[in-house]
Amino acid sequence: MMRHRALGLRAALTLLCLSMVALAQFKPAYPPPQVPPPAYPTPQPSPKGQASAQQPSNFSVKVNLVRLLVSVRDQFGTLLSNLNREDFHVFDSGVPQQIAVFERNTSLPLSVAILIDTSGSTEIDLHYEVNSVQKFIPTLLGAGNPEDTFALFSFNWRTNLEADFSRNPRRAERALHALRGEGGTSLYDAIFLASDALEGRDGRHVMVVVTDGGDTTSYKRYGDALAAAQRADVVLYPVVVIPIENDAGRNTGGEHALATLAASTGGRIFYPEGFERLDEAFSDILQELRTQYLLGFYPKDVREEPRRFHPVKVEGYNPSLRITARTGYYEP
């Protein structure tokens, strides 16, 4: 009986083995369905030396190019136009900067805002100013970049845009001959508003202010006018007319303010001796504009803070050179 049980068990094992072999050789008519990959990428180990996805890098790159328009004269007052990049040193907040952009006798297009004082104190001799400006505009447009433009403003107790930026001297001519002198003098308001009109325009920004030097009715103050001009990267050229030899009859405070505005923006103040010298003053301004250097740098190693004023200094290889450039810029 035991023998029969052993034979039955052996037969059962044999049958089981044959079934498994047959199952292994069986191939289904259709392949099994594929499991789709997950919708999100499988995280990979970070390469050595790189930050992980959980620790993103935190960095900033300052790409604001600061442009400086520079005029250079020798000890005799002669404009120099043959210097090289290596002849200049630029400092931002006392820190040396690398000059990334350099142009000699830059031909960047000019946007020139011409401001004429039409207050009551200029009424008698206003036609002298008008005639000189009328000669200045065609000369400005005739010998430079074909994209040079000008705008004409008049100011007394308020500021008026007489002719917007264009290359059409006839529009200015009609406006010039319609000017009349009356009221007070809002010089700082005019500089503030003209700076706003210049800001954002391509190329160089220049402001020529023809005035007798006083300010009597401005809402804005000196500091507002200076900050607006510096934010707009304006080079200011005041032309003080009706100079009175006796200091008791002159607005020396106003003239001093204009001189400081000019020096702080990289410009120069003019005191034509008599109305017949007005044309000469405008000619000197044009000559300076045609011989300017353009220096540009990307601020490095200086504190960044929105609307912060950065003092800037430009030095030459020769201490006897007289270098004129704006004294600083505002952080965007």
Place of tokens 């604001």: 64
Share of the chain above pLDDT 90, in %: 68
CA distance 168 to 172: 7
CA 219 vs CA 116, 191, 207, 223, 225: distances in Å: 18, 12, 20, 12, 11
Contact 170, 314 (CB under 8 A): no
Q: Count of CB atoms within 10 A of residue 66's CB?
A: 21
From the CB of residue 117, how many other CB atoms can be counted at a distance below 10 Å?
27
By three-state DSSP, how is residue 229 classified? helix
| C-alpha span between 2 and 6 (Å, rounded) | 6
Mean pLDDT for the stretch of residues 236-251: 72
Closest CA to 156 of 194, 200, 186, 178: 186
Residue 31 has pLDDT above 80, yes or no: no
What pLDDT, on the 0 to 100 scale, is given for residue 285?
A: 96
Cα–Cα distance measured from residue 282 to residue 271, given in angstroms and rounded to the nearest whole number: 11
- pLDDT tens, position by position, 122-142: 888 899 999 999 999 999 998
Helix, strand and coil in the chain, % to nearest 5: 35, 25, 45
Structure tokens at 273: 């001796």
Name which of 288, 252, 283, 251 is nearest 267 in CA terms: 288
Closest CA to 210 of 162, 142, 148, 143: 162
Tens digits of per-residue pLDDT, 154-190?
A: 999 999 999 999 999 999 999 999 999 999 999 999 9
pLDDT of residue 27: 45
Q: How far apart are CA 185 and CA 13, in angstroms?
A: 119
pLDDT averaged over every residue in the chain: 84
Q: Which residues of 38-52 are buried (b: 16+ CB within 10 A; e: fewer)?
A: eeeeeeeeeeeeeee
Q: Evaluate if residue 247 carries a pLDDT over 50.
A: yes
Which of the four pLDDT bands, split at 50, 70 and 90, describes residue 332? confident
pLDDT band of residue 45 (cuts 50, 70, 90) is very low
How many alpha carbons fall within 13 Å on the CB side of residue 246? 2
Given pLDDT bands bounded at 50, 70 and 90, which one contains residue 244?
low
Picking from 306, 285, 298, the residue whose alpha carbon sits closest to that of residue 67 is 298
Residue 234: how many other CB atoms lie within 10 Å: 27
pLDDT band for position 38 (50/70/90)?
A: very low
Domain ranges of the chain: 66-104+294-330, 110-290
**Residue 266: its pLDDT value, please?**
97
Across 15-24, 101-110, 247-256, 274-283, the highest mean pLDDT is recorded for 101-110
Question: Rounded mean pLDDT of 260-268?
Answer: 97
Token duo for residue 191: 């500089």
pLDDT digits (tens, 9 = 90+) for 75-91: 999 999 999 999 999 99
Q: Which is the CATH superfamily of the domain at 110-290?
A: von Willebrand factor, type A domain (3.40.50.410)
3-state class (DSSP) for residue 20 = helix
pLDDT, position 10:
54
Gap between the Cα atoms of 280 and 295, Å rounded = 28
What is the predicted pLDDT for the residue at 18? 44
Q: pLDDT digits over 55-72, tens only?
A: 443 334 456 899 999 999
pTM: 0.79
- What's the CA gap between 238 and 104, in Å, rounded? 25
DSSP 246: S
- Nearest Cα residue to 329 out of 3, 64, 12: 64
Residue 216 belongs to what H/E stretch? none
